[in-house]
Structures are given as structure tokens and as C-alpha cells.
Chains A and B, each alone.
Chain A
Amino acid sequence: KAGVTQTPRYLIKTRGQQVTLSCSPISGHRSVSWYQQTPGQGLQFLFEYFSETQRNKGNFPGRFSGRQFSNSRSEMNVSTLELGDSALYLCASSTGTVGTGEQFFGPGTRLTVL
């Protein structure tokens, strides 16, 4: 089985712009979670989607949003980018329902905000 894929792998944006990141889960996985990884804050949970519905949300401002499609692919969007949004954004998929099952991680999208 192909692993979790994320596109694009690298992205450079300027402050105030918006960005959309994409995640394709492993075939058959219906749950997708997103994490932000920074040197200062480590790995922080953003949100989790299952069956096209957001089931959990981390402590991030409303500028961070996401969605899941019927084929389980997921996108996350960050609007009005700030310098502090520079990070590695990881997506993970799992077979189980919300909060169950092993999570398989993608390679991440490296976002740089200038």
C-alpha cells in the first residue's frame, strides 16, 4: 500500500497570504489528523476528520481550517499567514474511528512564511 502523501512538500508564502495543503491518506483509512511541528512548540494537534466531519480540534486560531472529502482526502487552509505559521505540517491517517488505531504519518509540508 502506498503511504500517506502530502502536497506540496515545500511552500514559501508571504505574510497575509493564504495557503492550502493537501493530504491523501492510505487507501482504506477514513480518519485524517493534522499536526503542526515547530522547533519551539514541538508537535501540536490541529484537527482530526472522520467521514468528512471535523471530530476534534486543537487550540489554534480560526485562521486554521480544514476539510475532508468523500474519498477521505483532506485539505487544511491557513488564512492571513503570520511569520509564526512557518512550520512543518504533518498529516496522519488511521483506519479506526476517531481517536483509535495506529496513526501513519506523511512526510509533511514545509511552510515558510516571509
Chain B
Amino acid sequence: AQRVTQPEKLLSVFKGAPVELKCNYSYSGSPELFWYVQYSRQRLQLLLRHISRESIKGFTADLNKGETSFHLKKPFAQEEDSAMYYCALRAGSARQLTFGSGTQLTVLP
């Protein structure tokens, strides 16, 4: 069975500091990995996906198949980055999204 683990429920950093949100997954094949973000009073929205290998709002994430991780990183956090972040996996024949439990990021001034 596929599983996504986000070990940190809460994460606080100061503005301008680097931030890393951890995500580990369990799946034996080649999954698709995503990061979704939910800002206060807004809808859940896609932040980035590993396939596109892009940087969105300064965030990047690299798929490490050896460590089965897909950590989200940003070198200099901004207050507007404060939000709930979910890591998600899509794999297998069913192709449904499996979400982690989420990490609430707070960027302090």
C-alpha cells in the first residue's frame, strides 16, 4: 500500500531563514509526487510536481528515490509562505492521490 508521511505537524521559521518541509513516501514503483498548499481561507491548490522540476514561489522539491523522499525547500522564507502544506503521491493502477497529514508552516516576522 502507498503511504505519505509528513513528520512535522507544525513548523515555524523566521522570515529570511531557509525552510524545509519533509515528506517521505512508501511505494515500490515509480510514483508521481506533488506538493499542495492551502493558504488561510483559500482552496487547496497545487504548488508543484516532481515531473515538471520547476520552482514555484521560490520553492523547489527533488525526488530522492533512494531515500523515498520529496522534501520541499525554500532558501529564504517569506511571511506570505505561512500556510498548510500537503505532500501527495499518485501511483499504481488506481492513480488516486494519497495525501500526507500536512505541515502547518508559520513564518515569523
Which residues on A are within 8 Å of B, measured CB to CB?
Answer: 3-4, 33, 35, 42-45, 48, 56, 58, 90, 92, 98-100, 102-108
Which residues of chain B are within 8 angstroms of A102 by Cβ–Cβ distance?
46, 49
B96 touching A56, Cβ below 8 Å: yes
Q: Which of B43, B99, B100: most chain A Cβ within 10 A?
A: B43
Residues of B within 8 A of A (CB): 43-46, 49, 86, 90, 94-102
Whether A43 and B99, one on each chain, are in contact in the complex, defined by CB atoms closer than 8 angstroms, is yes
Contact B43 A33 (CB under 8 A): no
Verify B97–A58 contact, CB threshold 8 A: no
23 inter-chain pairs at a CB distance below 8 angstroms, sorted by A residue, are A4-B43, A33-B96, A35-B97, A35-B99, A42-B86, A42-B101, A43-B99, A45-B97, A48-B96, A56-B95, A56-B96, A92-B44, A98-B95, A99-B90, A99-B94, A99-B95, A99-B96, A102-B46, A102-B49, A104-B45, A105-B44, A106-B43, A107-B43
Whether A105 and B100, one on each chain, are in contact in the complex, defined by CB atoms closer than 8 angstroms, is no
Contact partner, B100, options A42, A48, A98, A107, Cβ 8 Å: A42
Report the separation of the CA atoms of residues A105 and B98 in the bound assembly, to the nearest whole angstrom: 15
Least CB separation from B44: chain A residue: A105
Q: In the complex the two chains form, what is the Cα distance from A82 to B26 in whole Å?
A: 31
Question: Are B43 and A45 closer than 8 Å at their CB atoms?
Answer: no
Q: Are B101 and A100 in contact (CB under 8 A)?
A: no
